[in-house]
Structure 1
Amino acid sequence: MTNNILIILTPFQAVQYKNLIDHNLIEGDLYIFISKYVDEQYLFEIIPNDQIVEIHHIYEEDILLKKLIAKPLSEYKKVRTILKKYKEQIVLFLNSNSGISFNIFSGSDKSIFDQLFYHYVLKFNQKLEIILVEEGIGYYKENTFEHRIFNLIYSALTPIIFGVSLNYVYALGNDKRADKVYVRRLDLIKKSNNLNKLIEIPKSNLRSQGNVKNHFNTVLLLTSPLSEQKKISEQKESEIITKIIDLLLKIKNQFILNHIQEKFLQNIMILLM
């Protein structure tokens, strides 16, 4: 029986893993680690319950190492504390399952929690394979010279500062420790450290599963953290959302799927109620 660790930081990652399970690409027992953004009950609805052995809740949301550059003194202690909690949780799990080797399924090699899991499962010699599963557009970006320099700096300094090497990641799916990388569009990836490890994800058919129906006079709004990611100003995003709200108020049925980094959802909901 194969033992698998699924690290699920977002609902979409859960959907991607479900698709692999449906195509028999994830078989065996599942030890699942979820962030606060993933509903545990939702997992029981989409993943075969007889495969789930344990579900663990990750200590806290992931760390943005960029903040260390902007606020090194105030962020250093916070990052040290979170890294310590991550380490304790991962090491406790591996020690509790000593002698068992795992496939690690990870949606984001940018996540510090995921990176630490790669590190310790290798250190404790409990790895079968590390398998990255595409979670979105981050897998289709390309690293620039600047990004590679940042990664060299992080790789050199983080062992000294934190006692473990952490990668600065811009383009996802490039961690050299990965054995396989599943993506939806092979044709869109031209450069990667893992070109020879890329595998196309089988297409899922949500309609055949009864999850998608036709809804007329209905709008689904998918938000994006544009101002949070500094792509536009907060003022510009506010102007755009105001125009969207004016349109939504004329429509009977509105469904809003909020990005986990988006801060404007509460404002939208208040105006729509």
Structure 2
Amino acid sequence: MIDNRYLLGLYSGTSTSTGSSTTLASLTAASRKKQPTAPWSTSSKSMPEASELVRAALGGRKIISESDQTIDVSGASADYKKLFALYQGLETLTQLANRASVKGVSASETALLAKRFTAGLAEVGDYMASTTLDGVRLVQGISSSVSKSTSGVKRDQPNYVTGPIHEGALTSEVAAFQGSVAFSISAKRSNGETLSVDVDLSAMGGAPRTLDNVIKHVNTQLEAAGIETRFGREQVPAEEKTLTVNGKTVTLPAGADHWALVVKGTSTEAITFSA
């Protein structure tokens, strides 16, 4: 189901998700009487009819177009056009789905509707990934009837912990990172886009290849490539060891702590590594 209620909540200054409230200072600085007429308003004449949205989409037209949005308040924030364009795109997806569910639609039209819906969904994902707003951060997520946190959108963050990669103090260089070390990281997003970054530790120059320095180097490149996944570290505490000598149990002191890498992923990216 395509759910536009979140955008409607943003326009009025609050999220409609239970237990969550988002203030949009940049959009509500003026009184509500000075806000542009929203396309979902009953008084709006700019929103095309459902049949027009479907016809335009099947004709290959982009479902998100800021230039098609009418702003009837002079000097209004540029965010309005972006929100209105996104709303129209989501409404187009809704109407494509509604049309496909109509009894009697031919198999060829159903196939075309499915194709345009898939392309439109990818277009929405690309738009959300590339669009910035002054007072709102848009992310793809799962609509929920109950909010259990302060976030308006549910997003899973899968973390992956490697085996121990370093033993000893964090100020010491990591033996596994010495010499020629290079690898590639690819992130396939839910919209089908794939981003890649090549990591070569020689680019660190003379900086010591400690665990923290390497993590910082990798994360800087991930951010520059537009990848949301990040690296971190996790301590693996050393444990005491016991052995039996002449029938007596002897406890040996714990050795140095070990450290593992943590891949802090997101639900919108599938990460792969290659040497």
TM class by shorter chain equals under 0.3
Q: Which has the higher contact order (CA 8 A, sep 6+)?
A: 2
Normalized per residue, which structure has more helix? Answer: 1
Task: Return the TM-score normalized by structure 2.
Answer: 0.24
Task: Return the TM-score normalized by structure 1.
Answer: 0.24
